[in-house]
Amino acid sequence: MATHRIRVTVNGMAREAEVEPRLLFVHFLRDVLRLTGTHIGCDTTHCGACTVLLDGKPIKSCTMFAVQANGRTVLTVEGLEQNGQLHPIQDGFWQEHGLQCGFCTPGMLMTGYALLQHNPAPTEEEIRWAISGNLCRCTGYVNIVKAVQYAAEKIRQGEAS
């Protein structure tokens, strides 16, 4: 079977690789690029631990082939921090203790980040709706919602100052 040369912009950097068509995108990120921040949870399109942004939209990277990402732009959890500074969404999870075991956290961060990009002041219901494809089996979601609210507030303050 033929392999395919793909070129993907990941966290602002152009990355190239020769991939088998059946290589899942999450395996490309973790095993080829060694970006292991993106987790594999259920591997059945349910849990959202593998969430990354594809051209700005959160998707499940276990349910897409790496070849499909050719020419596209991807943001993973490793790309949130800028110049040693945590992104407000990361800071929010820290401040509000939005995690316990941490397994779902990369996906939650990416979904939360995407939500705040187009809705800087989400209601609690909007946050819960947005993260309804990301499962957390520890927290009961209360602190995750608070973390997103914290980040929203912090981003708004940053813009105001």
35 or 50: whose CB is closer to another protein?
50
102 φψ region: left (φ > 0), alpha (ψ -120 to 50), beta (else): left
128 or 154: whose CB is closer to another protein?
128
Question: Which range of residues in 29-37, 67-75, 92-100, 149-157 is near another protein by CB under 8 A?
Answer: 67-75
C-alpha–C-alpha distance, residues 134 and 1, integer Å: 35
106 binds another protein (CB under 8 A): no
Question: Which range of residues in 49-57, 81-89, 94-102, 136-144 is near another protein by CB under 8 A?
Answer: 49-57
Longest dimension (CA), the chain: 56
C-alpha–C-alpha distance, residues 148 and 161, integer Å: 20
Residue 118 burial (C-beta neighbours within 10 Å; 0-12, 13-18, 19+): exposed
The CB-of-47 to another protein minimum distance in angstroms stands at 10
Contacts with another protein, residue ranges (CB under 8 A): 1-2, 4, 20-22, 24, 43-46, 48, 51, 54, 57-60, 63-65, 67-68, 70, 111, 129-130, 132-134
